[in-house]
Amino acid sequence: MSTRITISLPDSLLATLDQLARKWSTTRSGAVAELLQSAKRREIEKQMREGYSVLAEIHQADAELFLPAQVEVLRNGN
């Protein structure tokens, strides 16, 4: 489903939009949709990087906590 909207852009941004639409062989609407999808994708990627960073910190803390116990098990097992 598509909804028609009206937006106002400075002439310089309209010229940029027209250039992108030509480059991508699409309409102004198609170019705006592609730009918004790209922005959404970048935001999701940013959130994923932040999430993975937090997980890495948690895994590092777990490793530091449990590694001495694992070393002790290996020492006593041999």
DSSP conformation class of 24 = T
Residues of the chain scoring pLDDT < 70: 78
Residue 68 has a pLDDT of: 85
Q: pTM value?
A: 0.67
Residue 70 has a pLDDT of: 83
Closest Cα partner for 21 from 6, 9, 33?
33
Return the residue matching tokens 């939009």. Answer: 17
Residue 78 has a pLDDT of: 60
CA-based end-to-end distance of the chain: 67
* Domain ranges for the chain: 11-77
